[in-house]
Amino acid sequence: MSAPPHTSEIPRVTEREARRVAEAAREQDWRRPSFAKELFLGRFRLDLIHPHPLPPPDDVRRGEEFLARLRAFCETRVDGALIEREAKIPDEVINGLKELGALGMKIDTKYGGLGLTQVYYNKALALVGSASPSLGALLSAHQSIGVPQPLKIFGTQEQKDTFLPRLARTDISAFLLTEPDVGSDPARLATSAVPEGDDYVLDGVKLWTTNGVVADLLVVMARVPESEGHQGGITAFVVEADSPGITVENRNAFMGLRGIENGVTRFHRVRVPAAHRIGPEGAGLKIALTTLNTGRLSLPAMCVGAGKWSLKIAREWSAVREQWGRPVARHEAVGAKISFIAATTFALEAVVDLSSQMADENRNDIRIEAALAKLYGSEMGCLIADELVQIRGGRGFETADSLAARGERAVPAEQLLRDLRINRIFEGSTEIMHLLIAREAVDAHLKVAGDLIDPDKPLSAKARAGANAAGFYARWLPGLVAGPGQLPRTYGEFHPAGHPDLSAHLRYVERSARKLARSTFYAMSRWQGRMETKQGFLGRIVDIGAELFAMSAACVRAELLRTSGDHGREAYQLADAFCHQSRIRAEELFTRLWSNTDDLDRRVVDGVLAGTYTWLEEGVVDPSGDGPWIADATPGASTKENLHRPIR
């Protein structure tokens, strides 16, 4: 039987169709409580995160034992400077990690993995990432978004038995979604998977395939055309990387993470058994988003590691570097930066550990918490690295090799800044994370009043929505007027004798959560169907929520450390400093909700796109090379050398 003709042209979709695809992919229901969801609704549910959840002792023992082995490996066998210099992770390092079991950190022991918790997986990534961010990226891409995680959640038992033992010990995996002209808008996905007998035939091109150059197994998202017996849609497949018709056409090079094996992969008539499809047809995006619910925690985990190292370097350097008769740390301008690094690192670790422990317990829905952790960690991590470079001065701008060549300590501060910068872009850019989190934050409103602002809904649906909304808001709005944050002795256990008063910060969080919810409601009433276009406003709403979540996590972690007798007084000091800094940022964001340049910015953008200001571009030369803005991704046989090199 001949196969139906395939097309890998980029689908032409309207803005509304693109939103429909994204909406269909998101998890619709909230079966478990969510601290962050409640926070955006103006309800400060401290009981969902306090007392701080703790891992079982056996998980701690196994996790700490592995961290000790991993630390020894990183200290003796990983040369981060060599990886940076040669832009490649040595094969013997990757093979050493395989022998250590690091490929199977999150894979169950019955499949040959280590079965670590999310908490200890993140601690391991922070440790490895401090030795080499590229190595951390390899392990994260393999386990956080690569083949193991979607198989763990959606795979059949046969698929788990077939692939997980390989992935735990020998095989590296990669996740292939992005295409040359398809980024955060998956409705335009062009790679096709056409049913043919008991197989699917894949055609298309994937871009920025982290681990793709060295991978043994791939998760590939491709569009199955709708046909008789096939509902079609974007679908996930496990694909053997050495299958005939797969060509790694390029190994990409970047500003940072120079050791990552990231490439361009072409599929030409690649046959994939139907048994290797993950989940049903059309479930690919839902699988990807669900995988990322916890997978996103790996990025902020490595930002925590970066913060810890930055604090160490800032402390050591600023104590010995003297200017005007005193160490630079004693000058207020530098001291403020050191305080920011210390306090923010404490808060980032609090956010990641709390979110990870909640993921391990599986009591709460953490889709918003994980997204906030990724957003906040990537943004604050970059600020920490930038402040470290500033503290180091000219030496911060100088490469580690150059410092060593002239006899000084080889501190790769500028490399850290370059390596961390990508975190604000991949696994959901900051702008996309704002929209994703904002959509979840207003979900309760859309459930009761969405039909009121949907122009496509009939009057009967709007009438029903109006009745539902009236009932919901009659119950919800009165709760936003007053709350425990206005009572001076609320959360008193967070003000133990001899410690800073964290209860005042929690009362601020409670009051601010109600204020945030009131602001959101007012904006929805004001803009209604145009709310989704107010991306500046929505971004600030989310950023306020991130600050409130981070303050909550920092206070809860400080109290945990105090009651466990582990640096409690110092933890309270760091949490207090962070909350004061965070409150200033939150207040500025509240002001900017209604006092901003959003409308003016839109007019300027209109002028830029219309060519009104091209005179401003005169007086320079453009060093860019020739070529199209977006490479041609027309399906067909590859004409390039295959750069795929599996590591054995």
Per-residue pLDDT of 94-140, as tens digits, reads 999 999 999 999 999 999 999 999 999 999 999 999 999 999 999 99
Taking residues 213-235, report their average pLDDT. Answer: 95
Measured CA to CA in angstroms, residue 490 lies from 76, 499, 574, 575 at distances of 51, 16, 21, 18
Phi, psi of 437 (to 5 degrees): -70, -40
Mention every residue, 6+ apart, whose C-beta is less than 8 A from residue 471.
448
User: What residue type is assigned to position 183 of the chain?
Assistant: G
CA–CA gap between residue 73 and residue 410 (Å, rounded): 21
- Residue 6 banded pLDDT, cuts 50, 70, 90: very low
Per-residue model confidence (pLDDT) at position 612: 98
Band of the pLDDT at 12, cuts 50, 70, 90? low
* 367 CB burial (10 A radius; 0-12, 13-18, 19+): buried
Q: Cβ atoms within 10 A of the Cβ of 623, count? A: 5
Q: Strand pairing partners for 205?
A: 266
pLDDT bucket at 648, cuts 50 / 70 / 90: confident
- The burial class, CB within 10 Å (0-12 / 13-18 / 19+), for 40 is buried
Inter-residue contact 348 to 307 (CB < 8 Å): yes
**How deeply is 471 buried, as exposed, middle or buried, from its count of CB atoms within 10 A (0-12, 13-18, 19+)?**
exposed
Instruction: Identify the band that residue 148 occupies on the pLDDT scale cut at 50, 70 and 90.
Output: very high
If you count DSSP H runs as helices and E runs as strands, how many of each does the chain have, helices first? Answer: 23, 10
Q: How confident is the model at residue 3 (pLDDT cuts 50, 70, 90)?
A: very low
User: Is 190 in contact with 9 (CB distance < 8 Å)?
Assistant: yes
Lowest mean pLDDT among 147-156, 209-218, 323-332, 396-405: 323-332
Examine the pLDDT at 18 and tell me if it is beyond 70. Answer: no
The pair of structure tokens assigned to 565 is: 């007798």
Closest CA to 483 of 508, 466, 464, 501: 508
Among 582, 545, 547, CA closest to 537: 545
* pLDDT tens, position by position, 245-265: 999 999 999 999 999 999 999
Distances (CA, A) of 606 to 52, 241, 493, 531, 611: 49, 45, 54, 20, 9
In percent, the amount of the chain with pLDDT more than 70 equals 96
pLDDT at 120: 97
Residue 227 buriedness (CB in 10 A; 0-12 / 13-18 / 19+): exposed
Per 3-state DSSP, what percentage of the chain is helix, strand, and coil (rounded to 5)? 60, 10, 30
Those residues with Cβ within 8 angstroms of residue 371's Cβ, 6 or more apart along the chain or in another chain = 296, 428, 433, 436, 437, 440
Alpha-carbon gap, residue 632 to 205, rounded angstroms: 9
385-420 burial, b if ≥16 CB within 10 A, otherwise e? bbbbbebbeebbebbbeebeeeeeeebbbbbbbbbb
Given CA atoms 157, 163, 164, 166 in this order, what sign does their dihedral have?
positive
> Measured between alpha carbons, how far is 82 from 78 in angstroms, rounded to an integer?
9
Q: Take residue 611 and report the two structure tokens written for it.
A: 């060519």
Instruction: Say what angle helices 332-361 and 535-563 make with each other, to 10 degrees.
Output: 80
Least confident segment among 21-25, 209-213, 546-550: 21-25
Q: Say whether pLDDT at 2 is over 50.
A: no
Sign of CA dihedral 426, 432, 436, 437: positive
DSSP at 104? G
Mean pLDDT (the chain) is: 93
Average confidence (pLDDT) over 286-306 = 91
Mean per-residue pLDDT, 480-495: 95
Q: What is the largest CA-CA distance in the chain?
A: 85
More confident residue, 184 or 47: 47
Residue 427's pLDDT is 85
Query: What are the beta bridge partners of residue 179?
Result: 182
CA 487 – CA 482 distance, rounded (Å) = 10
pLDDT number for residue 25: 66
Say which of 261, 369, 414, 427 is annotated catalytic: 427
For 183, residues 6+ apart whose C-beta sits below 8 A from its C-beta are: none
Q: Which two tokens stand for residue 116?
A: 């670590």
Q: Which uninterrupted H or E stretch holds 235?
A: strand 233-240
Is the CB of residue 191 less than 8 Å from the CB of residue 179? yes
Amino acid at position 319, single letter:
A
- Cα–Cα nearest to 40, from 457, 518, 596: 518
The Cα 363–Cα 381 span in angstroms is 28
Q: Could you tell me which residues are beta bridge partners of residue 218?
A: 174, 239
Q: Does residue 427 carry a catalytic annotation? A: yes
For residue 31, count other CB atoms closer than 10 A to its CB. Answer: 6
DSSP string, 579-615: HHHHHHHHHHHHHHHHSS-HHHHHHHHHHHHTTTTGG
pLDDT in tens, 538-594: 999 999 999 999 999 999 999 999 999 889 999 999 999 999 999 999 999 999 999
Per-residue model confidence (pLDDT) at position 266:
98
Q: 262-273 and 199-210 as β-strands: parallel, antiparallel, unpaired?
A: antiparallel
| Least confident among 4-13, 211-220, 292-301, 426-435 | 4-13
Region class of 407: left (phi > 0), else alpha (psi between -120 and 50), else beta:
left
Start-to-end Cα distance in the chain: 39
Mark out the alpha helices in 105-237 (DSSP H runs): 118-131, 133-140, 148-154, 157-169
What integer pLDDT is reported at residue 185 of this predicted model? 76
Q: What is the pLDDT of residue 5?
A: 41
| Cβ 50 vs Cβ 503: under 8 Å | no
- HSE-up of residue 183 (Cα within 13 Å, Cβ side): 8
Lookup result for tokens 């301008």: 333
Give the whole-angstrom CA distance, residue 334 versus residue 327. 10
Do the bridges between strand 262-273 and strand 246-251 make them parallel or antiparallel, or are there none, so unpaired? antiparallel
What does the pLDDT read at residue 1?
Answer: 38
